[in-house]
Each structure stands twice: as C-alpha cells, then as structure tokens.
Amino acid sequence: MKKILDRTKGDRWIWLIVILLSILSLMAIYSSTGTIAYKNDKSAEQYLVKHLVMIVGGLALMYFSHLLDYRYYAGISKVLMVITIPLLLYTLIFGNHVNDASRWVTIPVINQTFQTSDLAKLALITFLARTLTRKQENIKDVNKAFIPIMGSVCIVFILIALANLSTALMLFGVSILLLIVGRISIRQILIVCLAGMVLLTGVILLGSRRQTYISRVQAFIHPEKADPDKSFQANQSKIAIATGGILGKGPGNSTQRNFLPHPYSDFVFAVIVEEWGLVGGLVLVLLYLVFLYRCVLIVTHSPKAFGALLAAGLSFSLTIQAFANMAVAVGLGPVTGVPLPLVSMGGTSILFTSVAFGIILSVSRDIEEKKGLDVPEKKPAAGNRNKIIVGEIPAMG
C-alpha cells in the first residue's frame, strides 16, 4: 500500500474529490436501490457490493491511467477512433434496445453491457486534442486540418445522436470548445455548428425517437399541459428536492426514491438533496466546481499543447455532464438519460469516467515532474509539430 501511495502523483485536490464523490456515491446508491431490490427479489446490499466493485475497479483504472505518460494517449486515440465508429454502427443495428433506443452492447463471456457512447466520448476528445496539436502549423488549411476535424466530430455526433441525443449534444458542445481553444477560425467553427444543426434537425425529424424528444421538450416548456406520464419523473424529482429543506431528512430517509423510476442513476442528485438537504446539494456542486478549477490550473500550466487540450476537453466533458444531470433534477432542463459522473450507479460508465480522471491526473503528474526537475522548456524546432508550447495556443483565459 505504501508503494502505491508513493507512486500516486498528480493534483491532490482531484484525488480528494474523486474519493469524496465515491463515498457519497456509495451512500446514495445504498439508499436509493431499496425499491428496485424489492422488485427484483434482491437485497440492497447486493447492489451496493456490485457498485463497490465498479468503484474499486474505476479507482484502479484511474491509478494505472495516471501512471501512463499522457503523450501515449495521442497514439491510443487513433486506435480508439478506429474501434469506436464501427462499434457505434454495430450498436445502432445490433445493440440492446431499451425504451426504443439502442445504446448498449453486451460483452461476450462476462455478459456485461456497456454504453458505446462512453467510449466514443473518450475517443473523440483525445483524437481532437491530438489532431489540433499536430495540425497547428496548418490549422487554417481546409483540406489538411478543417475537413479531418469536422469529419470526425460530425460522424461521431450523428452515430450517437440517433440513439442518445443528449449525450451527443454535450459531446458536440465540448468539441466546439476544443476547436475554439485549438485556434480554429470563427468562420470554420460556425460551419461546424451549421453542420451540427443540420444533422440535429435530421435526427429529430427522421429519427425513430423523434416523438420522445418532442414530448420531453414540450413537457419541460409547458408542464401544465403535458401528459402526466411524460412529466412524472420531473415532478417527483422536484418533490424530493422541495421536501429536503436545508439539512435534509437524513441518510436513508428518502421517500421519493420509491416513486422516481431511476433514483440511483438519472435522478440520484434529487435523492441526495432530499436526504442531505440544500447543504448536501451545494457540497456536491462545490466538488465539481473545485474539480473544474483545478483542471483549469492544469491546462494553464501544461508545457505542451496536447496536454492542455486533453485536460481541457476531458474536464469540460465531465463538468458539463455533471451540471446537465443536476439541472434536469432541479427542473432547469428537459429529462435526459445523463448520469452524474462517479455518483450515479453504473457499470462500465464508471470505468470510462475513471479513465478520464486518470488521464487528467497524468497531465498533472507531468507538470509536477517538470517543476521538480526545474529545467526550463526549450522552444521546439519549427518543424516539430508534436512539441508546441501552450503559449502558442490560448488554452484558457
């Protein structure tokens, strides 16, 4: 154990945030799985143990991911993209259908399902960070830089959006932020946004889930006119939050967990606020804000463009997802199926999220090691595109 702790590097605040989120997750999942355990003739402890195994597995993946030099993820991103696009296609055609959506595939032998969009998020962000870094000398060139970047973003967006529009929109937003950070011209970014709007319109009008999207938006805009079944989840979530008060009902005392369809995943934030009150909700919000702040520091101190873009993209993705989940719970957005990172009960989603945290910590570890050596960075040669200093890219404000 001492050897593991000695080799644990990177931002200590992020490690602390991960541990706190994991502990909070275990308490919330144990409390919110009573109803589903009863329906499935199981005990809540069985779900807790399963979730604990995934948390421990995620921490292990995060540890090994942070030990790997983040530069290796540039090469890994190419492999991930080659795997991701066919896998997304396979999921759409042969994946497990739940609520008219095909988002999951079953892993042979272990019989464990996983959501392919989780892998796609990791693949696209790392690939964009790599491409933007390598194409800096030709960043304004349409054929050499813009088309490959736009193509990867639009292909992944449409393949995810057909089954999971909310995740696709968030990933598209993160991609746009990375393009801005990566010095893509405003005109080209507007073209990407226009292409995204065209694809989005096509998904809504021609996709098999168009009625679901339209009904959710209508229920959000006009809840008084909505079908009670369509607004049921949102209403139960609001009741949970409203009855939580300042200090909450206490751990394990949630009542709305018996009515919310997914109190352990999509609406786990509502259960946390009901049991821990406004104070517990604010603490959770603060943890994600501190995480984002620490990532901003990592981005601004990273000596290489790839590390800065990698940390920026992954941190944007995680925090946007977190606040999207909490916004839905408090009624600030239409209902989506977006989980709360490291808190919602999940299988492989926890593992992919943990890898994302580990990659950010790998960038942070590299910064620490360079500071420890106290050796000034040499300015790269003009022809070396892989060693562009962050000063050449306005990574963050």
At 111, is the pLDDT very low, low, confident or very high (cuts 50, 70, 90)? Answer: low
In order of 79, 166, 299, 372, the CA distances from 365 in angstroms are 24, 33, 12, 10
Is 147 inside a domain boundary? yes
Strand partners, 104: 96, 115
**From CA 343, how far away is CA 176, in angstroms rounded?**
26
Coil, strand or helix: which one is 286? helix
What tokens appear for 375 in the block? 């050796």
Under a CB-based contact definition with an 8 Å cutoff, are residues 53 and 90 in contact? no
Q: How many domains does the chain have?
A: 1
Is 395 inside a domain boundary? no
Of the candidate ranges 145-149, 261-265, 282-286, 351-355, the one whose mean pLDDT is the lowest: 145-149
Of the candidate ranges 154-168, 205-219, 254-268, 344-358, the one whose mean pLDDT is the lowest: 205-219
Mean pLDDT of the chain: 83
Is 181 inside a domain boundary? yes
Is 128 inside a domain boundary? yes
Is 19 inside a domain boundary? no
Is 220 inside a domain boundary? no
At 391, is the pLDDT very low, low, confident or very high (cuts 50, 70, 90)? Answer: very low
At 324, is the pLDDT very low, low, confident or very high (cuts 50, 70, 90)? Answer: very high
Residue 392, amino acid? E
At 200, is the pLDDT very low, low, confident or very high (cuts 50, 70, 90)? Answer: confident
For tokens 């999921």, the residue is 91
Under a CB-based contact definition with an 8 Å cutoff, are residues 395 and 308 in contact? yes
**What is the DSSP annotation of 45-86?**
HHHHHHHHHHHHHHHHHHHHHHHS-TTHHHHHHHHHHHHHHH
Is 171 inside a domain boundary? yes
Cα-to-chain-centroid distance, residue 53: 20
Is 359 inside a domain boundary? no
In what side-by-side order are the strands of the sheet with 96-98?
96-98, 101-107, 112-115
User: The domain containing residue 188 runs over which residues?
Assistant: 73-208
At 296, is the pLDDT very low, low, confident or very high (cuts 50, 70, 90)? Answer: very high
pTM of the model: 0.87
**From CA 111, how far away is CA 127, in angstroms rounded?**
29
